[in-house]
């Protein structure tokens, strides 16, 4: 019997790397990867080689513009959701949230708001971004220390989203097991937990990623808006209003009266997005189903997966790491 093999997705391939990236890789510490076999530690954070190539290209070539908005997230913190919300918010004068032909009805949020290093700068070393109309909206998982210089030099704004580390871990474990090639088998939760606690996860250590943006948001609140998944879940309208103010496009009293905020929240809700045909059957150009970005969309699913020992240990680590920062989960 012939077993049909899916082509290896681009993010797992280590060919097509630039010589600069290959030279760098040979000098970096390595660890076991979550999807690709190896992680490399660059500027204090762990990455598979393809993402690292994307980061290097982005650092070299990305030219931020003053009106850009960059959504920065820790993986599995609700990036897909915030992409949908930010796209709808920023483009609301062009596309009414209730229009039957709203772009979200037929496009994945990942198409409407592309990743820099995981998509645009992964596919091309220096992509032509001239087709993106201002105000541009991009996303990234890059840690603060790795952001391209032009982001600091310009007046562009950063919206940062993170999530309770226990839910982040569980979500990441499910997600990466779906992405692993069949011959790699699944990774156990115990193994994933050990790696996560040791800081070895996509764009980890988790706490360093979060603290980098948390501290910057305190120093520079006009530049960095810091948001937690749990808070957004709890009071989506309140946080959407704050986001609009931060981005310089506040809702008018007319819009408030017309319940535009509630409409946007509803359009971008887990139930609505996950049930759209495009998100049920569509695929990213790299081959993954869009549906992998929708699982449960709940706060506290860790209670169904982590043992009490795991919870105690992860809580202890987080308490130590976030001690004195003013941040807790």
Report, as residue numbers or ranges, the catalytic residues: 141
Q: Is 297 in the site for ligand A3P (CB under 6 A)?
A: yes
Q: Is 204 in the site for ligand A3P (CB under 6 A)?
A: no
Total residues binding ligand A3P (CB under 6 A): 21
- The correct pick among 59, 107, 140, 171 for binding ligand A3P (CB under 6 A) is 171
**Helical ranges in the chain per DSSP H:** 19-25, 49-61, 79-90, 109-112, 121-123, 149-153, 165-179, 189-197, 206-219, 229-234, 236-246, 253-257, 260-267, 270-275, 277-281, 308-322
Torsion of CA 165, 295, 39, 198, to 10 degrees: 20
Torsion of CA 194, 196, 200, 204, to 10 degrees: -170
Cβ distance to ligand A3P smaller for residue 21 or 202: 202
Cβ distance to ligand A3P smaller for residue 288 or 315: 288
CA distances 298 to 56, 81, 159, 226, 304, Å, are 34, 12, 21, 20, 12
CB of 318 to ligand A3P, least distance (A): 18
- The correct pick among 39, 174, 193, 329 for binding ligand A3P (CB under 6 A) is 174
DSSP for 263-325? Answer: HHHHHTSHHHHHHSHHHHH-B-TTS-BGGGG-S---S-GGGGT--HHHHHHHHHHHHHHHTTT
Cβ distance to ligand A3P smaller for residue 21 or 142: 142
Q: Is 226 in the site for ligand A3P (CB under 6 A)?
A: no
Which stretch in 2-10, 28-36, 218-226, 262-270 sits in contact with ligand A3P by CB under 6 A?
262-270
Q: Is 141 in the site for ligand A3P (CB under 6 A)?
A: no
Alpha-carbon torsion (243, 89, 275, 283), positive or negative: negative
Which stretch in 29-37, 50-58, 249-257, 292-300 sits in contact with ligand A3P by CB under 6 A?
292-300
Answer for the pair 241, 265: CB distance below 8 angstroms, yes or no.
no
What three-state secondary structure class fits 224? strand
Q: Is 265 in the site for ligand A3P (CB under 6 A)?
A: no
Q: Is 165 in the site for ligand A3P (CB under 6 A)?
A: no
Q: Is 296 in the site for ligand A3P (CB under 6 A)?
A: yes
- The correct pick among 32, 270, 278, 315 for binding ligand A3P (CB under 6 A) is 270
Question: What φ, ψ does residue 162 adopt, rounded to 5°?
Answer: -135, 180
Which stretch in 167-175, 191-199, 208-216, 217-225 sits in contact with ligand A3P by CB under 6 A?
167-175
CB of 86 to ligand A3P, least distance (A): 12
Cβ distance to ligand A3P smaller for residue 21 or 162: 162
Cβ distance to ligand A3P smaller for residue 54 or 75: 75
Q: Is 207 in the site for ligand A3P (CB under 6 A)?
A: no
Subset of 77-96 contacting ligand A3P (CB under 6 A): 77-81
| Closest listed residue to residue 47, CA positions, set 121, 112, 114 | 121
- The correct pick among 38, 43, 177, 269 for binding ligand A3P (CB under 6 A) is 269
263 class by beta-carbon count within 10 Å (0-12 exposed, 13-18 middle, 19+ buried): middle
CB of 317 to ligand A3P, least distance (A): 20
Cα separation, 159 vs 71, whole angstroms: 5
- The correct pick among 40, 46, 213, 294 for binding ligand A3P (CB under 6 A) is 294
| Token duo for residue 106 | 């037929």
Run of H or E residues at 41: strand 38-42
Judged by the rule CB under 6 A, the positions of this chain that interact with ligand A3P are: 73, 75-81, 167, 171, 174, 268-270, 273, 293-297, 301
């Amino acid at each position: 019997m012939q077993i049909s093999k899916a082509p290896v997705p681009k993010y797992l391939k280590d060919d097509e790397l630039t010589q600069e990236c290959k030279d760098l890789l040979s000098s970096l510490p390595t660890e076991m990867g979550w999807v690709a076999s190896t992680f490399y530690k660059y500027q204090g954070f762990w990455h598979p080689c393809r993402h690292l190539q994307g980061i290097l290209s982005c650092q070299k070539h990305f030219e931020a513009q003053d009106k850009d908005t960059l959504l920065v997230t820790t993986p599995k913190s609700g990036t897909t959701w915030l992409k949908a919300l930010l796209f709808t918010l920023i483009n609301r004068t062009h596309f009414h949230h209730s229009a039957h032909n709203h772009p979200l009805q037929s496009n994945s949020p990942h198409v409407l708001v592309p990743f820099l290093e995981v998509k645009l700068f992964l596919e091309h070393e220096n992509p032509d971004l001239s087709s993106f109309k201002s105000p541009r909206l991009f996303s990234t998982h890059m840690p603060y220390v790795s952001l391209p210089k032009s982001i600091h030099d310009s007046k562009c704004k950063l919206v940062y989203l993170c999530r309770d580390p226990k839910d982040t871990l569980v979500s990441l474990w499910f997600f990466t097991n779906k992405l692993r090639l069949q011959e790699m088998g699944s990774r156990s939760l115990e193994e994933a937990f050990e790696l996560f606690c040791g800081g070895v996860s996509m764009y980890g250590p988790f706490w360093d990623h979060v603290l980098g943006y948390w501290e910057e948001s305190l120093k520079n609140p006009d530049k960095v808006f810091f948001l937690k998944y749990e808070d957004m879940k709890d009071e989506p309208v309140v946080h959407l209003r704050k986001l609009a103010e931060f981005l310089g496009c506040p809702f008018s009293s007319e819009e408030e009266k017309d319940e535009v905020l509630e409409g946007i929240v509803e359009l971008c809700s887990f139930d609505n997005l996950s049930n759209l045909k495009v998100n049920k059957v569509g695929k990213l150009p790299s081959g993954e189903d869009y549906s992998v970005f929708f699982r449960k969309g709940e706060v506290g699913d860790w209670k169904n997966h982590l043992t009490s020992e795991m919870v105690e240990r992860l809580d202890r680590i987080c308490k130590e790491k976030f001690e004195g920062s003013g941040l807790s989960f």
